[in-house]
Structure 1
Amino acid sequence: MKLFLFIVTLILLVSCKDEKPAAIEPTKQYVNAVIIIDNQMDSIPVVIRDLPSFENSQSNILLFNNGVDTLTWRKNSDDIVRISSRINKLQTLLIKPNDTLRVQLKDSVLHITGDVVDWETFKVIETSEIDSVQNLRDQLHGRYFTKSEPGLKPTKFINDYELIELYAGGFYNRELINKELDSIAKIIALERETLDLKLEYIDEEIENKSFNPRTGKLLKSVALRDYFNILSSWSRYVRENNAIRLNPNFNELSEARDEGFLINAITDPKYMNEEILVGKYGTSTMHSYLNVLQSKYSYATKNWIKSKFHKTYFELPERLDGELLKVAKSTAIHKMMSWNEPWPEIVKCYDDYISNYGSDKYIREFEIQNAKKLNLERSLDNTDLLLANTLTKSISLTDLIKAQKGKPVYVDFWASWCPPCIDNMPASKALEKRLGDKVNFIYISIDTDEQSWKKSERQISLKAENSFIALNYELSDFVIKENLNEIPRYFIYDQSGKLYDTKAAAPDDPNIYNLLEAIAK
């Protein structure tokens, strides 16, 4: 009997020992990865982000405030997770099924432990063969490049050297580059050879089961993206010269070809892998691919680089087909928005997309972000400038001026992508404060991307009641009549609503205060 009681007691003790408490610590029975967050800082959240996708061009961002929490991360997939706080730099990690990451923010320091693989280190692929090819490339590259001294911005020019952000920050000798485009072609050929070696290495590692196929796909996407980015960066030097081109095998110089050797450099079918470029990991790679195709159309202005992805959009069927073409077209439309291309051109491409594919997951984000403009597009009376803000559906500029209660109005035309516009905002707001209720101020953005406008509106701290976005800027007869094709631009209306000045002084002009005060009397 005593022996029986002893055995029963022993079994109970073992059972109790094996039983886990009801806590956040996960076991390896999880199929999903798990991230345990322990935030010990008040008012400073831990920020966890994933990669953007074709369905959602913005990263999903999760904020974890003071306390302990557990996040279950995806199911049965390798992925990239990015973790930071506003007092700690971003850390990018490769996370796999059954991984457990522990993230602690304590004493202003972010500690990450557990099954951690640093993506920035992991994605670097080095073999003796790759190193040999890259050394040849670097020797050529060094002829045209000199590193910059600290503190210089990427817009500074010194003699024949232009500071750009290719490789490390430094100066490129534009004149020498234009004289020796054959050497640039050789550099790009070496870049391609490096890419081929990386792709071969990744395939070997997948076959040897050193890489999970999904991780291999991600590494391939990064290798392609980096290659496309390099081609896009060099395009500014070679796209204007039609004498030097590469033939399709990319090894010899040949006669001029209409598409240019940069385009030839990316049209190899093995680089247009649908499995890689249509998947989530292909988002940034597809963007880089389109940058190269579009490079022959872009040009620089005083304040901005103008793009023409709407031209590239209609060339895509010559290069791609199937699902790859669909994703490339939807990505091109998103890029048109982010680069503020003319709205009529964007709508033309959107209409073409809908006629071929209908509304689907790839285009839905664009439709949601621009629903107001798309719904109004075909019913607009383009005689007047139509406006909208976050408080009202829409209002014409004429009706808005009439509603200003008999006061003069100072109208500030601006855009989120216009540095001089943003630079003038503090002066405009100071002028508004100084004049008090004598003059009404209205801020009208000509952004095509509503999200960019809203983001800048918040950053500048504009009041919702006097901040608007133009819905039909490119189509409005008012814009055409007043030749409103440059910003920043300032208009003044008098108390009766009559247009007083269509090229008024900027808000930092010493005379503008006296002028507005005089009109207000």
Structure 2
Amino acid sequence: MILLMACTESKDKPFQNNENLKNENPNRITIINSLDKTYPYIIYKELTLEELLKGEVVSDTIYSPDTLFFKLNESVQLINITPTDEFNPQSFLVQTGDTLNINSIKNKLHINRVENGKLIPIKWDYSHIIPKSKLFLKLDSLESFFLIEEKIANLNSFLPNIKNSDEWDLKLPEHLKQIDESYSILIDSINRNDNQLNKAYNQLIQKDQILRTINVLSIVNNKLETEKFYKKLFTLEYFKNRYLSDIYGIYYLRKFHFNNDITLPEVYNREFKEYPEVISRYFKFRLISSMVEKKYNRKTILNFLNKYKEEYGDFSPLENILNEIEYGVETSPDLALIDYESNVSNWEEKKKQWKGKIIYLDFWASWCAPCLRAMPYSKDLKEKLASKEIVFVYLALNDKEDMWRNSAQKNQIIENNFFIKNSKSSEFISNYNINAIPRYMIFDKNGMLIHEDAPGPETKEAFEILSELLKD
């Protein structure tokens, strides 16, 4: 969901006046990438379930060198920045009007806030809000009854303290109560000062408490206590916390996506009465996404998309799925085609046009490396048989039209090269099980399919088969 607009500022004035930006863009921060010739960076934020279901944008990409305005949902919010060549996110608590600068000093990445022309470090972690007080030190000590910290390679990991496992169920209620009391005291101390910064702290403390509880529950696996915990978690109070959306996501995956005891359609058809309406809707949105991911047939997915629309009136945030399965396009046994000049046709029309010629059909895509590696061999094969009654046809499957056009021009395959407009809904694709490319087919001079999965152009077999057919 990378959709926000990037905008380039003058490169000789990297540090700007924040006051003007606060007035012009009250809900945004400015991010300046001062690096040169490096990977782009992804900036992303957490959304509440409500924002997610409205289809709000969660992330943006900043290239180098460039300047980006990034929208916040609250005046104080945690954002994450990570380079695209590795998943190594850094978190920053920012407020509207802030300017961040991405730079490198002695080959080490630095991201700082710009204040009065100076760079102020602002990297954030939970040590900013979780105190090393007697209360929390005691909690850490009690937690060691369930979890022990061990170093695996270069990482510190929490593992089950197996030697105490016989007593886990007895100690668990007391420990969960201690977690609740410790965090309640901390939250109460923060809530004495009602401002946006403390609101953010409050939400982040809640997340840390929940993660700590989940860690212990996942080890002990006490069904009664786990059920009590999630019943408390799925309330509107917690749903408004934007930093819990990934926790709801983890719950969904464990409860539904990876549950082999019940199918996704069966889960969708239950009423979800035990959850608030917005969480029920979130689960239904995720269930349709899971159906796509698990490659349910198109008719099934369309059925549940229509149910979703009837119940909620819109498809946000399912736009990507709608495009993926070509929602609103009627299923057809034929292939809907457009050529490089944007002329519209279909496969059956083209076959009639080429009657009397052998057809060597190549399913490919601009993103498919094996397809592109085979193209020079296809051109060679075409040259070898140039004087024969044969036509080489290229059909771009599951591609994007602009990428197809660029690749067609770059690889000089304009002639008889077509973009398939109904890759997802054509029965031709499903009937012949074209689920991997490159894929080749051969049709005889009467348009009859005689090789459903023909050899590729780089093989001797392809030349031999085509040469033999041309003798007839």
Instruction: Point out the more displaced range, 394-403 or 211-220.
Output: 394-403
Contact 1:229 / 1:288 at 8 angstroms: preserved in 2? no
Percent identity of equivalent pairs:
13
Query: What's 1:444 paired with?
Result: 397
Cα distance in 2 between the residues matched to 1:62 and 1:42: 15
Query: What's 1:111 paired with?
Result: 110
Cα distance in 2 between the residues matched to 1:402 and 1:230: 68
Cα distance in 2 between the residues matched to 1:412 and 1:207: 63
Q: Give structure 1 stretches of 5+ with no counterpart.
A: 1-22, 151-165, 171-179, 235-244, 251-263, 300-306, 417-421, 446-452
Question: Residue 329 of structure 2: which of 349, 352, 376 is its match?
Answer: 376
Query: What's 2:313 paired with?
Result: 358
Cα distance in 2 between the residues matched to 1:426 and 1:133: 59
**One-letter amino acid of the structure 1 residue matched with residue 395 of structure 2:** I
Cα distance in 2 between the residues matched to 1:415 and 1:341: 25
1:26 paired with 2:18, answer yes
Contact 2:102 / 2:110 at 8 angstroms: preserved in 1? yes
Contact 2:366 / 2:372 at 8 angstroms: preserved in 1? no
Change (3 A) 1:392 1:167: farther
Contact 1:103 / 1:110 at 8 angstroms: preserved in 2? no
1:39 paired with 2:34, answer yes
Map 1:198-237 → 2, pairs under 5 A: 201-209=182-190, 212-218=198-204, 220-221=206-207
Query: What's 1:409 paired with?
Result: 360
Contact 1:410 / 1:491 at 8 angstroms: preserved in 2? yes
CA positional deviation for 1:360: 5.8
CA positional deviation for 1:272: 0.9
Change (3 A) 1:27 1:462: same
Deviation string 1:33-89 (CA, Å, 9 cap, x unpaired) is 64352525268656544446343376331435436x574753643323233555787
CA positional deviation for 1:391: 8.7
CA positional deviation for 1:442: 2.9
Question: Residue 96 of structure 1: which of 94, 97, 103 is its match?
Answer: 94
How many residues of Structure 1 are paired with residues of Structure 2 in the alignment? Answer: 413
Instruction: Point out the more displaced range, 282-291 or 101-110.
Output: 101-110
Cα distance in 2 between the residues matched to 1:51 and 1:485: 38
Query: What's 2:423 paired with?
Result: 470
TM-score by length of 2: 0.64
**One-letter amino acid of the structure 2 residue matched with residue 118 of structure 1:** K
Contact 2:81 / 2:90 at 8 angstroms: preserved in 1? yes
CA positional deviation for 1:291: 0.8
Cα distance in 2 between the residues matched to 1:434 and 1:103: 52
CA positional deviation for 1:337: 3.2
CA positional deviation for 1:293: 1.9
Deviation string 1:269-308 (CA, Å, 9 cap, x unpaired) is 2121334446654443333222112245459xxxxxxx95
Cα distance in 1 between the residues matched to 2:309 and 2:258: 27
CA positional deviation for 1:503: 3.3
Contact 1:45 / 1:66 at 8 angstroms: preserved in 2? no
SS of the residue corresponding to residue 409 of structure 1 reads strand
Cα distance in 1 between the residues matched to 2:199 and 2:205: 10
Cα distance in 1 between the residues matched to 2:295 and 2:175: 35
**One-letter amino acid of the structure 1 residue matched with residue 378 of structure 2:** E
Cα distance in 2 between the residues matched to 1:388 and 1:197: 66
Change (3 A) 1:36 1:60: closer
Cα distance in 2 between the residues matched to 1:345 and 1:55: 24
SS of the residue corresponding to residue 55 of structure 2 reads coil
Contact 1:278 / 1:324 at 8 angstroms: preserved in 2? no
1:314 paired with 2:264, answer no
SS of the residue corresponding to residue 102 of structure 1 reads strand
1:285 paired with 2:234, answer no
**One-letter amino acid of the structure 2 residue matched with residue 273 of structure 1:** T
Change (3 A) 1:167 1:298: farther
Cα distance in 1 between the residues matched to 2:466 and 2:214: 52
**One-letter amino acid of the structure 2 residue matched with residue 442 of structure 1:** L
Contact 2:147 / 2:216 at 8 angstroms: preserved in 1? no
Query: What's 2:8 paired with?
Result: none
Q: For CA contacts below 8 A with separation 6 or more, give which structure has more relative contact order.
A: 2
Map 1:124-135 → 2, pairs under 5 A: 127-132=136-141, 134-135=143-144
**One-letter amino acid of the structure 2 residue matched with residue 440 of structure 1:** V
Contact 1:414 / 1:487 at 8 angstroms: preserved in 2? no
**One-letter amino acid of the structure 2 residue matched with residue 470 of structure 1:** S
**One-letter amino acid of the structure 2 residue matched with residue 499 of structure 1:** L
Deviation string 1:143-171 (CA, Å, 9 cap, x unpaired) is xxx968x9xxxxxxxxxxxxxxx99799x
**One-letter amino acid of the structure 1 residue matched with residue 189 of structure 2:** N
Query: What's 1:56 paired with?
Result: 55
**One-letter amino acid of the structure 1 residue matched with residue 451 of structure 2:** D
Question: Residue 76 of structure 2: which of 75, 78, 82 is its match?
Answer: 78
Contact 2:40 / 2:61 at 8 angstroms: preserved in 1? no
Deviation string 1:237-272 (CA, Å, 9 cap, x unpaired) is xxxxxxxx964345xxxxxxxxxxxxx587x32121
**One-letter amino acid of the structure 1 residue matched with residue 144 of structure 2:** N
SS of the residue corresponding to residue 373 of structure 1 reads coil
1:272 paired with 2:281, answer no
Contact 1:387 / 1:395 at 8 angstroms: preserved in 2? yes
**One-letter amino acid of the structure 1 residue matched with residue 65 of structure 2:** N
